[in-house]
Amino acid sequence: MKTKIFIPLLTFLFFNNLISASNVSNNDPEKDKVIIYILKNILTRGHYVKKDMNDDFSKHVYNEFINNLDPSKRYFTQEDLKEFSQFKYQIDDQLKESKIDFYTLVYGRFLEKVDAAKITYKNLLKESFDYTKNETIDLDYEKTPFAKNENALIDHWRKQLKLQILGNIEEKEEQEENKLKEDSTHKKKTFKELEIEARKVVLKNMDDLYVRIDELENSDWYSTFLNSVVSGFGPHTTYMSPRIKSRFDQDMSGKLEGIGARLQKEGMYTKIVELVSGGPAWKQGELESGDIILKVAQGEKEPLDIVGMRLDDAIKFIKGKKGTEVRLTVKKKLDNSIVIISIIRDVVELEETFVKSSIVEKNGKLYGIINLPKFYIDFSDTDNRNATIDMEKEIARLKAQNVEGLIVDLRNNGGGSLKTAIEIGGLFIEKGPIVQVKYRDEEANVKNDTDEKTQWNGPLVVMVNEMSASASEILAAAMQDYGRGVIIGGKQTYGKGTVQNVLPLNYYVKKYPDDLGALKMTIQKFYRINGGSTQIEGVYSDIAMPGRYSYMEYGERDLDGALPWDKVPQAKYTKTNSYENFDNVVYNSKERINKDEKFISINEYAKWLKKNQDDDLYSLNYSSFKQDSDQRQEEAKKFKDIFKFTSNLTFTSPKYELNLFEKDTVLKDKRFAWHENLKKDIYMDEALNVLSELKMRTKQDIVKN
């Protein structure tokens, strides 16, 4: 049993499940039906997996929608489910007729339950709970049944709230202990006083949660329903509303048009969190982090009051086309003065999306490190900046500084454009296949690098982890199959071997006046050039290093409805035979890792994390709660410093970037922080050990072999 928990996770679990929901329509039944009609036709005709919309499909949508609305079992009872079950095997038939009776019933009941919940949690939090009672709560909600009736539901609420309070009390007790250590005259608060404070904190958290829930509209919930439908075809097939589609395009291109500021909701207000380095607001110089935006005017037009407005709606008015003016009425953080700030919108590049590089000296030799966070491209302008162009430039800059080896860091890179993955693979070989792509019911099609130019032909190490997915796996697999580079990182990558295409729904009903959003649909599977799929299996590292996720359930293999692993015939390719000591280098690294006390401790830590992940039972008796928590904290002490590591290496920016720092201090600070993290990165340190040992074959040796 474990008791140390992340209280905000419990409080906001429900809301976080909905933030992906998005604006589809404003209670427009005809539009809702049009979207359903288009989706069912596209999915049944074009999805990689042929799937009948039958009773099994209906059951999936039924369970998925109910669980998406109520993942913590806070709203529906078994009595509700008995009524809902009339549609359990009829949703497929309804969808074929573009009917949404199931959605209407469940959504209507859900709204009633949300209103009732506001009364329930307020009433429960008025009085103290019994913290001496021996009872538990199981947070494995997938296995927990829905409450039998309304009385049982209220008791479920009581347990959830009690757990949150216990966590808050424990945190406050620790704060009191720390105050006493700092000041021996400090009078510690009693348990009763701390409990009252904890209940107030939980009440505020719940109030804040329901303010956000109340901001959601029918369209947001309908989007949740649509995604329950399309998920029946696979975990990576999703409906994207116009708003989410816009965010997707921005994420893929690394660009947006606006003022270049990160915003967040704080109570009733829209607050500036950060200015994007080099963006319009940053250049203008008056707007600062912490400022509150009260009104927004488009040029000389009448300003619009955005106090109390949903954040997404406020952003719509603040963003805008390049070259247009926005006038913000702002309450300044420093002196609470009210000022009007005029900003000319422009294209904003999100620097953290793009390739960046560093240079490090080791044993008298220079090595380059390229971090590629995403395979980005601007689909609306493929000639514009993309990952391939930036990688090619960065390699050229590093070569100009005479680096003798290169690390490409794909850790946490979730993928992106298939096109750029193929092109980047081509930067490291003369020419040849990079990946195989297969549509349903067709033979695999080999995708080649046709450019004989090689941008980098020296030693190469590719870093991956369990979160390297999709396009990252294409690149890593190609380098592994060619023997072009050493793959080092987690035991295996994420295992997403499918390709999605984004299809605007308005393309299918061109005269429809409103934006209907888009469908991101799985249309292909991709395969390594050796014939095996990366689906489920991912890419197994040549050198596996223990990490946090080594024993966790994480990856494609843990997703419901994930496509299976399979294989196709091998493509025609020739291994590069790039290294004369590949096997020895891999062996040496494995020996170092197996003997290294840090890595041994990290492996033990990973096992400990797995043990705690599997334990979902929490005590609601405070003595047991505290006892279990103390035991867990004691266990955690031996892992406190396992990631504390500092190398004797110095990482610096390439020369071209040093010139930028004179004008851009924000970029300078970000790079300094990155370089400091690299210095403390035990995984990067071992990757550099591997890179420094690799010896390239001569051309004569390659010909002989």
Active site residues: 470, 481, 496
Structure tokens at 639: 């892992």
Coil/strand/helix, residue 344 = strand
Pairing label, strands 238-240, 518-527: antiparallel
**Cβ-proximal residues to 184 (8 Å cutoff; 6+ apart), any chain:** none
**Burial track 254-266 (b if 16+ CB lie within 10 A, e otherwise):** bbbbbbbbebebe
Structure tokens at 588: 């040496």
Coil/strand/helix, residue 260 = coil
Within the chain, what is the greatest distance between any pair of CA atoms?
Answer: 83
DSSP string, 566-617: -B-PPP-------BSSHHHHHHHHHHHHHH-HHHHHHHHHHHHHHHHHT--E
**Burial track 175-203 (b if 16+ CB lie within 10 A, e otherwise):** ebeeeeeeeeeeeebeeeebbeebbebbb
**Burial track 110-120 (b if 16+ CB lie within 10 A, e otherwise):** beebbeebeeb
Report which residue type is found at 436.
Answer: Q
Structure tokens at 133: 């009672």
Structure tokens at 603: 């492996």
**Burial track 283-292 (b if 16+ CB lie within 10 A, e otherwise):** eeeebeeebb
d(CA 655, CA 671): 13
Q: Crossing angle of helices 387-400/418-425, nearest 10°? A: 30
DSSP string, 274-315: EEPTTSHHHHH----TT-EEEEEEETTSPPEE-TT--HHHHH
**Burial track 71-81 (b if 16+ CB lie within 10 A, e otherwise):** ebbbbbbeebe
